[in-house]
């Protein structure tokens, strides 16, 4: 008797319309280490896939031009989350973001499972959290 295959939804990508696609590509490359893995140029639209190296077939950001800048309040906590290997790495990102004028949440400690994190604004107004100590994104033991 054959074993039944069960399928379930699996998150594979987030698609964002952005006002300045080149600025967003640079931001996600410089701050998040993401690389461009696909580009499609249409007469009125550019579509770019970004992924973390080695995770190109697991999860991507799809960026599309033609969007509008977001105007989120500083206390609006919707965000994309990236895990970092140490508190020092969070501090380094926060300092880089401060110098670049895009730091929105200075480093702070929260009880488990939140951990130590800071928040940065991408060129389109999306918030990006960089954290250490969350039970997400930790390397396998």
Show the 3-state SS of the chain.
Answer: CCCCCCCCCCCCEEEEEECCHHHHHHHHHHHHCCEEEEEEECCCCEEEEEECCCCCCCCEEEEEECCCCCCCCCCCCCCEEEECCCHHHHHHHHHHHHHHCCEEEEEEEECCCCEEEEEEECCCCCEEEEEECCCCCCCCC
pTM: 0.89
pLDDT of residue 3: 59
Residue length of the chain: 141
Mean per-residue pLDDT, 95-118? 96
Mean per-residue pLDDT, 4-33? 92
- pLDDT at residue 131 tops 50: yes
Give me 139's structure tokens. 């390397």
Give me 62's structure tokens. 């799809």
- pLDDT at residue 140 tops 60: no
Cβ contacts of 116 within 8 Å, gap of 6 or more: 87, 90, 107, 108, 109, 110, 131, 132, 133
Q: How confident is the model at residue 6 (pLDDT cuts 50, 70, 90)?
A: low
Q: How confident is the model at residue 48 (pLDDT cuts 50, 70, 90)?
A: very high
Neighbours of 32 (CB within 10 A): 18
Radius of gyration over every alpha carbon of the chain, rounded to an integer in angstroms:
17
Mean per-residue pLDDT, 91-96? 98
pLDDT of residue 141: 45
Q: Is the dihedral of CA 74, 77, 78, 79 positive or negative?
A: positive
Mean per-residue pLDDT, 31-44? 96
């Amino acid at each position: 008797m054959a074993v039944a295959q069960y399928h379930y939804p699996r998150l594979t990508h987030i698609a964002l319309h952005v006002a300045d696609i080149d600025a967003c590509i640079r931001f996600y490359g410089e701050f998040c280490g993401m690389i461009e893995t696909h580009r499609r140029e249409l007469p009125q639209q550019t579509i770019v896939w970004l992924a973390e190296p080695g995770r190109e077939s697991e999860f991507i950001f799809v960026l599309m031009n033609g969007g509008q800048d977001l105007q989120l309040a500083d206390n609006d906590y919707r965000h994309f989350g990236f895990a970092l290997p140490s508190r020092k790495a969070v501090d380094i990102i926060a300092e880089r973001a401060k110098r670049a004028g895009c730091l929105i949440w200075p480093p702070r400690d929260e009880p488990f499972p939140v951990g130590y994190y800071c928040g940065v604004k991408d060129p389109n107004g999306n918030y990006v959290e960089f954290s250490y100590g969350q039970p997400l994104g930790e390397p396998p033991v």
